Amino acid sequence: MTPTLVCKVIGVDEMGIDDLIEIFPNPTTDKLTIEINSSYIQKISICNLTGKLIKTISCNNSNLEIDVSNLSPGIYFLNGTSDQGTFRKRFVKN
């Protein structure tokens, strides 16, 4: 009798649109840097916890620096859409 090894694939990680967006520093106090690894994202919005639109930013290049010094301390969301789907990233303003 020989031992039998059975391997099953239970999932495959796919790169989602959330993986194409990096934000730092998080938490931040005055500036937030956004690195976008996709040319298909044209607009990003900042919303507060209640969903109120705070700011809309046009994306003309892959690196953005956003002044958030005028935001009140709290939790905010970056939202955007591309042909690959939508993304939402959370950041904290101190």
Measured between alpha carbons, how far is 64 from 15 in angstroms, rounded to an integer? 22
Global confidence as pTM = 0.78
What pLDDT was estimated at residue 10? 61
Measured between alpha carbons, how far is 58 from 71 in angstroms, rounded to an integer? 19
Domains of the chain, each with CATH number or no CATH: 17-93 (2.60.40.3080)
What pLDDT was estimated at residue 85? 78
Lowest pLDDT segment from 6-20, 37-51, 52-66: 6-20
pLDDT tens sequence across 36-57: 876 678 889 999 999 999 999 9
